[in-house]
Amino acid sequence: MKAHVYVTLKRTVLDAQGQTVADALKRMQYQGVEDVRQGKYFLLTLANGMAQNAAQAEVERIAREVLTNPVIEEFTYRLEA
């Protein structure tokens, strides 16, 4: 089973990196992009035969305790069989 974890800065936190990408795109004449937010992406490969429930609990725990800084970041995740 695979778990996709997406970690982004909270909406209220200034995303300088994303802003820089957005500015660069504008300068380079790319059309139609109004805003860019940048985050991190983790692809976790889980042990075979792990139950859906157990996997969900473990991935949530890892994302919350290790991959995310709860002061400024939030996460979403998606499991894939």
Note the residues at the interface with a second copy (CB under 8 A).
6-8, 18, 21, 24-25, 28, 30-47, 50, 54-55, 58, 61-62, 66-67
Interatomic CA distance for residues 65 and 67, integer angstroms: 6
Select 61 or 72, whichever has its Cβ closest to a second copy: 61
- Closest approach, Cβ 71 to a second copy, in A, equals 19
For residue 54, CA distances in Å to 10, 50, 51, 59 come to 27, 7, 5, 9
- Closest approach, Cβ 70 to a second copy, in A, equals 17
- Closest approach, Cβ 46 to a second copy, in A, equals 5
Select 43 or 71, whichever has its Cβ closest to a second copy: 43
Interatomic CA distance for residues 31 and 54, integer angstroms: 44
**Backbone φ, ψ for residue 28 (5° rounding):** -90, 10
